[in-house]
Amino acid sequence: YVEKDGKCNVQHGNVRETYRYLTDIFTTLVDLKWRFSLLIFILAYALTWLFFGLIWWVIAYSRGDLEHLGDHSWTPCVNNLNGFVSAFLFSIETETTIGYGHRVITDTCPEGIVLLLLQAILGSMVNAFMVGCMFVKISQPNKRAETLVFSSHAVVSLRDDRLCLMFRVGDLRDSHIVEASIRAKLIQSKQTQEGEFIPLDQTDLSVGFETGDDRLFLVSPLIISHEIDERSPFWDVSRGQLERDDFEIVVILEGMVEAT
C-alpha cells in the first residue's frame, strides 16, 4: 500500500472529472514533475512576450510607422521599432522592466499607452504566479525524508510487563523537525457483522495520543510503542495468526522542517 520510501503505491484510474485539476491550477503546476514545470515556466514568459510583441508590431504597421522609418518628421508609436524582431525585444523590455532606452513609447499613441498598461499589469500577474509556483516547488522538502530512518524490523515484546509493538525512528540531520508527531495505521481488509467486505480498511493504532507521547522531540532515536491491550486490533490475534494474516502497518511522521 505504501512503499518503503514513503510513496503511496496507488494509481488513480477512470478519472472522469479531469476539469477539477484545472480549477486548482496552482496546485496542479506545483505537483507536476520538474521538466514539465520548467517547460510551462519558459512557455508562460515566451508566449506572453510573443503575444504582446505581435500586438506592438500590428500597432506600428497599422499606423504606418514601418513605412516612415527614415522620416524624422514622423512621430511613431515606438521610437526605433523597425520590424517584428524589434517589437518582440520591446515587449521583453516592457514586461521585464529592463529599459535599455533605445526603443521608447511616445505620447502620440493612445493605443500604445493602453497596451503598455495592460502588459505591465499582466506581466506582474504572470511573474507573481510563475515565481510563486517555482518558490513553492523549490521549498518543498521532499528529500528530507531520506534522512529519517526507521528500524528495519518491528518487534512485539514485553515492556513494563505489558505486551507492546515497538519500532525505532531517528533523524540523521542536525536541523530539527519542529512539532513532530507520529501516527500509525493498520491497513487490512475486513468483513463486517452484516457481511459487508471492506477492502483496505484503516484502523488507528494508538502510539501515545492519550498521553501525548505521539508528540516527538526527535533529537535522538526514539522507540515508538503501541500497547496491545483490549482496544488494540491485535488483542485477539495469536502469534501464529499474526504470521498468516495479510495486513500492513503504515507509520506517518509529520512535522515542519526547521530550515524551510
Give pLDDT, residue 8. Answer: 86
pLDDT over threshold 80, residue 254: yes
Region 39-44 average pLDDT: 94
**What is the signed CA dihedral for 114, 119, 122, 128, rounded to 10 degrees?**
-140
Region 227-237 average pLDDT: 92
pLDDT over threshold 80, residue 27: yes
Half-sphere exposure of 239 toward its Cβ, with a 13 Å CA cutoff? Answer: 4
Give pLDDT, residue 256. Answer: 87
Q: CA torsion sign, 39 to 131 to 115 to 69?
A: negative
Nine-digit cell string for 194: 452484516
Give pLDDT, residue 147. Answer: 85
pLDDT band at residue 185 using 50, 70 and 90 as cut-offs = very high
Specify the higher pLDDT residue, 217 or 14: 217
List the domains of the chain with CATH numbers.
18-139 (1.10.287.70), 144-257 (2.60.40.1400)
C-alpha to C-alpha distance for 143 and 140, rounded to whole angstroms? 8
Q: CA torsion sign, 52 to 54 to 59 to 64?
A: positive
Per-residue pLDDT tens digits for 115-168? 999 999 999 999 999 999 999 888 877 777 788 899 989 999 999 999 999 999
pLDDT over threshold 90, residue 210: no
pLDDT over threshold 80, residue 19: no
pLDDT over threshold 80, residue 15: no
Give pLDDT, residue 259. Answer: 76
Q: Which residue has the cell 505521539?
A: 214
Provide the phi-psi class of 94: left if phi over 0, else alpha when psi is between -120 and 50, else beta. Answer: alpha
Region 232-256 average pLDDT: 91
Give pLDDT, residue 71. Answer: 85
User: For 218-245, b where at least 16 C-beta lie within 10 A, e where not — what string?
Assistant: beeebebbbbbeeebebeeeeeeeeeee
Q: How wide is the angle at C-alpha 5 spanned by C-alphas 139 and 30, nearest 5°?
A: 30
- Please state, rounded to an integer, the average pLDDT across all residues of the chain: 90
Give pLDDT, residue 247. Answer: 93
At what angle are helices 110-139 and 84-96 packed, to 10 degrees?
60
C-alpha to C-alpha distance for 169 and 159, rounded to whole angstroms? 18
Nine-digit cell string for 162: 505489558
Most confident of 144-153, 171-180, 246-255: 246-255
Give pLDDT, residue 176. Answer: 85
C-alpha to C-alpha distance for 208 and 183, rounded to whole angstroms? 9
C-alpha to C-alpha distance for 3 and 257, rounded to whole angstroms? 22
pLDDT over threshold 80, residue 260: no
pLDDT over threshold 80, residue 10: yes
Per-residue pLDDT tens digits for 71-95? 888 999 999 899 999 999 999 999 9
Give pLDDT, residue 194. Answer: 92
